């Protein structure tokens, strides 16, 4: 797939999530999963994440809250790491997760805090290498 929205989305996706992660995701795509990779790259990243009106850090705050509420642990870990890349502090991420606990339920908040701690540990381990 090659169009302007896809290319802009791909560049931003690599910036936020890391080029290695994105390239591995695209390389692992097969005939079944490739359309989902293309859809998320073009529409999530190329249409929405590249829009003016919200900074990347604000989009990360929103994503952490929504993904926590939806109980999507893999995506949450990925977006916690992305939030750090986008300039959020661990304290700000913690505050979002406390808000999640109040509005989405304490179990969602507890699971999200655990997943965030795992993400922080992975980021810390990678920075020591």
Whichever domain contains 106, its CATH number is 1.20.1290.10
What's the pLDDT tens digit per position in 31-46? 999 999 999 999 999 9
| Same domain membership, residue 64 and residue 39 | no
Q: Which residues, 6 or more positions from 100, have their beta carbon under 8 angstroms from its beta carbon?
A: 64, 65, 68, 69, 108, 109, 112
| Same domain membership, residue 84 and residue 42 | no
pLDDT of residue 31: 97
| Same domain membership, residue 46 and residue 96 | no
pLDDT at 14 > cutoff 90: yes
Is the separation of the CB atoms in 49 and 88 below 8 Å? no
pLDDT of residue 104: 96
| Same domain membership, residue 63 and residue 40 | no
pLDDT at 1 > cutoff 90: no
| Same domain membership, residue 68 and residue 45 | no
What's the pLDDT tens digit per position in 81-126? 999 999 999 999 999 999 999 999 999 999 999 999 999 999 999 9
Domain that holds residue 61: 55-129
Q: Which residues, 6 or more positions from 97, have their beta carbon under 8 angstroms from its beta carbon?
A: 64, 68, 109, 112, 113, 116
Average pLDDT of the chain?
95
Alpha-carbon torsion 57, 59, 62, 65, what sign? negative
What is the count of structural domains for the chain? 2
């Amino acid at each position: 797939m090659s169009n302007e929205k896809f290319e802009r989305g791909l560049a931003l996706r690599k910036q936020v999530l890391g080029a290695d992660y994105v390239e591995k995701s695209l390389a692992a795509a097969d005939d079944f999963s490739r359309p989902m990779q293309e859809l998320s790259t073009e529409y999530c990243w190329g249409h929405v994440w590249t829009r003016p009106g919200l900074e990347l850090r604000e989009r990360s705050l929103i994503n952490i809250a929504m993904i926590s509420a939806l109980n999507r642990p893999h995506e949450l870990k990925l977006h916690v790491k992305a939030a750090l890349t986008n300039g959020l502090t661990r304290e700000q991420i913690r505050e979002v997760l406390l808000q999640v606990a109040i509005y989405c339920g304490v179990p969602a908040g507890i699971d999200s805090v655990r997943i965030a701690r795992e993400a922080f540990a992975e980021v810390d381990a990678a920075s020591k290498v």
